[in-house]
Amino acid sequence: MEQFLRQRSAHHAAGSIRAYGSILRRLATSANKRVGSLRPADFEDFFYGPGGLAEKAGRGTLAGYRNRIKQFLSYCHRREWHRLGPEALLDGIDNRSGSQNRNRYRMTRAEIRRLIAAAEDPRDAALVWFVGCTGVRISEAIAMHVRDLSFAKGELYVTLPKTYEEVTYPLSSDLEGALRSWLTHYTEQVGTLKRSYRLFPPYHRVKFAPGGGLTKAGQYNPARPISDPGGDILHPMAERAGIELESGDGWHTLRRSFARILYDDAVHLGHDAALRIVQAALNHKSVKTTERYLGLTAERKQFVQMIKGKPFLTVDLDPGKIADLNERRAGRG
């Protein structure tokens, strides 16, 4: 660490070096192990564990911490002091503060359907159906092509941007109906769909066309991805639907909503591994990341309310012989 700081001091101001030194020394104290022994879980604990950075730091501050640690890990990786690169070690760190992530807005099924009903374009409705039924990231959704959809097999093929791994998703019956309806409209607009076409295309912009004249605005452009799916699509839809999205909310709100709905369904159906099911669906490497998506703080509070000051192993005995601890404390007052 000291060697890294000395090298940085040749090109950075003293204040910047102090900031690097402060966070790296806190990391060293928290992890209490050599650099080569650090694992992704150590960084997740440092950021999101009890007393971690996310309890008090906001999103911007966390991003700064993550960037400084990333620079240090890159330095170590180039010198082969650690076999894992910074991306792998920091994969579970999303720069969001713990309080923000636990309390972020999650839509119900009814709210998602209301959002879909507010769509003015069949493409936009299909895109919300897609993310709402699969939980994929919006970057993964708009990167898809027509060839990535198989109605015959009931499958979707999504490429993960971090690893370029292709993951197969199941096609639910309602999503299939929505996609069939959208592709029918899409075909009517551009003709027979080629396998290389974008599944969710943007519009052509008004511009001069070859040979003179203007390209007609409003036509789909199957060759390019959507550039701003948040500002151009989701936020206007939410406003029309009467759904208030706070600063920072967007397509990831749908991903979190999918996760929570799937988790609640799995618990209701009696699946013992509900959390692992959601982890697999979201392609999270760490179950701690999944817990933050689900916002399990409410369940934690309910657990505390169920247990604190009440009998547990003796609850099946004669209630008359059991004194509620809260009532006893109140009586003393």
Query: 149-150 and 166-170 as β-strands: parallel, antiparallel, unpaired?
Result: unpaired
In Å, what is the CA distance from 234 to each residue of 80, 140, 237, 250?
Answer: 44, 16, 5, 7
Which tops the pLDDT comparison, 34 or 216? 34
162-183: average pLDDT: 92
Please tell me the predicted confidence (pLDDT) of residue 101.
47
Q: Both 261 and 119 in a single domain?
A: yes
CATH of the domain at 272: 1.10.443.10
> Which one of 63, 82, 103 terminates a domain?
103
Q: How many domains does the chain have?
A: 3
The verdict on 141 and 40 lying in the same domain is no
| Full residue range of the structural domain in which residue 80 is found | 2-103
Report the Cα 188 to chain-centroid distance in Å: 34
pLDDT of residue 127: 96
Task: Between 18 and 94, name the one with better pLDDT.
Answer: 18
Mean predicted lDDT score pLDDT of the chain: 82
Choose the final residue of a domain: 103, 136, 168: 103
**250 in the same domain as 183:** yes
Give the residue carrying structure tokens 């929505």: 178
Q: Assess whether pLDDT exceeds 50 at residue 98.
A: no
Residues 310 and 325 reside in one and the same domain: yes
**Cα 248 from Cα 166, distance rounded (Å):** 28
Q: State how far the Cα of 32 lies from the Cα of 283, in Å rounded to an integer.
A: 30
Distance CA 148, CA 198 (A): 10
Residue 322 above 60 pLDDT?
Answer: no
pTM, two decimals, is 0.61
What is the distance of C-alpha 228 from the center of its chain?
18
Does residue 172 share a domain with residue 51?
no
262-282: pLDDT as tens digits: 999 998 888 888 889 999 999
Q: Do 255 and 152 have their domain in common?
A: yes
The fraction of the chain above a pLDDT of 70, given in percent, is: 82
Based on the fold, state whether residues 133 and 255 are members of the same structural domain: yes
Which of 103, 126, 147 is the last residue in one of the domains? 103
**Cα 322–Cα 323–Cα 324 angle in degrees, nearest 5:** 120
Whole-number pLDDT of residue 37: 85
Strand order in the sheet with 149-150: 149-150, 155-159, 166-170
The pLDDT of residue 79 is 86
- Which segments of 64-208 are extended strands (E)? 149-150, 155-159, 166-170
- CA-atom Rg of the chain in angstroms: 25
In whole angstroms, give the CA distance from residue 181 to residue 159: 24
Q: What is the pLDDT of residues 190-231, one digit of tens each?
A: 999 999 999 999 987 655 555 544 444 568 999 998 888 877
**pLDDT average, residue stretch 230-240:** 87
Over 90: is that where the pLDDT of 116 sits? yes
Give the whole-number percent of the chain exceeding pLDDT 90: 34
Selection from 64, 60, 1 nearest residue 31 by Cα: 1
Q: What is the pLDDT of residue 48?
A: 79
Best mean pLDDT range from 51-55, 71-75, 289-293: 71-75
- Confidence band of 149 (pLDDT split at 50, 70, 90): very high
Q: In this predicted structure, what is the pLDDT of residue 162?
A: 67
User: How much is the average pLDDT of 30-56?
Assistant: 80
